[in-house]
Structure 1
Amino acid sequence: MTDPGILQIGALVAAALLVGVSKMAVSGVGAISVALFAAVLPAKQSTGALLPLLLVGDVLAVSAYRRHADWPALLRLLPSVAAGVLLGAVFVARVDDAVMRRTIGVLLLTIVAHYLWQRRRTRTASGGSDTTGAPKGRTDTECGTASPGAPTARTQHGRALAFGLVAGFATMVANAGGPAMSLYLLSAGFTMLGFLGTAAWFFLIVNLVKLPFSVGLGLIDRNALVLDALLVLAVPVGAFLGRAAVNRIDQALFERLVLVFTTLSSVNLLR
């Protein structure tokens, strides 16, 4: 790993701040952290260096939102996520940085396009009355549950299989599972705190599972840990800022921010 310059260090500090913000408030900005790390470091090295910072953010998020998780939703996701992580580990071992980065960019843009198409079809079916895209029913203060208008159990299981596989693959390849998970939770009708609590536990579990794979593939080494030691304090600062902002963001704006940041970061990965 080459020594980054001042501008590159600034970008990495910003990325670490955004890790904290993404874990506490707007999940979509986490994709920007992935893009910034990949812009400064080689793609594979960036994946290893970012993972320990994500784990710090996961611990902070779980401590804040642990009561809001929807465990049935998590249990539906985990089997397909595990399969995705295994596929991702094989993929990382076989491809170069450019292929890995572009594959993730295409994958994320496909997910965004699918979500937007799904939302448009839902609005058309309801006569266009739902103009915000915000889930109806339960309030944001209720614990980890989807709103009453959420998809049926059969549909949820199908989505869990597809999105779990994509999220597991993307998170192993480039720490980019956040957008897939975010879009799954949005499409399932989760309110804001249910979204954040379920995502917090999901990524703590998944990132811990990824850790031995990342070490075994050589993605996490001594240089990466030294860099993380310089950046780690930025994560709780970002978490504090995100926690302060989360109560000021309404559900419709929350969804739009997730989609916008996911799209921008995905386009950047195609370079």
Structure 2
Amino acid sequence: MSFDPWQYALGTVAALLIGFSKTGVPGAGILVVPLMAQVFGARLSVGATLPLLLLGDCFAVAFYRRDADWAWLRRIAPWVTGGLFVGAVTLKVLGDLRLPSDPLGPVIGVLILAMLALTLLRGRLGDRLRPHSPTGTVLTGVLAGFSTMVSNAAGPVMAIFMTAAGLPKERLLGTSAWTFLIFNLAKVPLLLLLTADNPAEPLFTPETFLFGLTLVPALGLGALVGRVLLPFIPERGFSLLVLGLSAVAAVRLIV
């Protein structure tokens, strides 16, 4: 597998956004999903993006490692784990279909649009969108696990989940950093098993891993820029730009 300059260009932008989202504006990460899908195709992008996300999580944990609320994380862990397994089964079923075009593309596109809708609703409804009942907590956790397994796009769901806990800002950032690191690590063996089970439709390849290594400097730069420039970024304007570009890319994946 060889890569063209435009693929490296899109990958570099995606890596910058991953680093930036982990230490600057979290909503920037949603655009990474369709960008990487354009580079690799939908299915391969799931595994190709994961090492970069894990590295970004390490940056976030390094900055906020002392601020996690472990009791909250233990409460939601079973439901997110259940969602991971539902997502893994979905990836297996879609991989076994042997269709002419990748069926995961429209699924990721729809998930991105759903995450964008949740982001906009969260801005309008605030507390009313938070899961206030045990059933709401279970459903939100399963949706978060499913979304991150299938598309690496659970950010908006987890944001709703975490703000429902009413944590202070520093504790929220630390808990978020550890949560994403732990569950992204949990996805690695599942994706490797799915690849071994169906080598014709892999989720990891040596080529995509090496491609990701070339993007590490861009990710580190994005993390540092996010950390330094966070106080000066017009967050609303930047977020609207990211949401708009993500919506266009999601529609492209669907059609």
TM bucket normalised to smaller: 0.7 to 0.9
1:270 is matched with: 251
1:91 is matched with: 90
- Asked whether the equivalents of residues 67 and 173 of structure 2 are also in contact (C-alpha less than 8 Å), the reply is yes
2:4 is matched with: 5
Which residue among 218, 221, 224 is the counterpart of 1:237? 221
Bigger mean CA offset, 91-100 vs 163-172: 91-100
Aligned mates of 1:225, 1:26 — CA distance in 2: 26
Q: Give the unaligned 5+ runs of structure 1.
A: 126-149
Aligned mates of 2:8, 2:135 — CA distance in 1: 42
Q: Give the unaligned 5+ runs of structure 2.
A: 96-100, 196-202
SS at match of 1:95: helix
| Residue-by-residue CA offset, 1:137-193 (whole Å, 9 max, x unaligned) | xxxxxxxxxxxxx97xx8164443222111111111111112221233345555543
Aligned mates of 2:51, 2:184 — CA distance in 1: 9
Percentage of identical aligned residues: 38
Query: What letter matches 1:40 in structure 2?
Result: V
Q: Does 1:50 align with 2:49?
A: yes
Report how many aligned residue pairs link the two structures: 240
- Asked whether the equivalents of residues 24 and 242 of structure 1 are also in contact (C-alpha less than 8 Å), the reply is yes
Query: What letter matches 2:180 in structure 1?
Result: F
Q: 1:63 to 1:13 in 2, by over 3 A?
A: same
| Residue-by-residue CA offset, 1:22-46 (whole Å, 9 max, x unaligned) | 1111111111111110011111111
**Structure holding more helix per residue:** 2
Bigger mean CA offset, 102-111 vs 176-185: 102-111
Residue 222 of structure 1 and its aligned partner are, at CA, apart by 1.1
Which residue among 171, 180, 184 is the counterpart of 1:203? 180
Residue 51 of structure 1 and its aligned partner are, at CA, apart by 0.5
SS at match of 1:237: helix
**Residue correspondence of structure 1 range 1-271 to structure 2 within 5 A:** 2-95=1-94, 98-114=102-118, 116-117=120-121, 120-121=124-125, 155=132, 157-186=134-163, 188-190=165-167, 192-218=169-195, 219-248=203-232, 254=235, 261-262=242-243, 264-271=245-252
Query: What letter matches 2:217 in structure 1?
Result: L
Aligned mates of 2:123, 2:206 — CA distance in 1: 45
Aligned mates of 2:123, 2:29 — CA distance in 1: 23
Aligned mates of 2:186, 2:243 — CA distance in 1: 24
The normalised TM-score by structure 1 is: 0.77
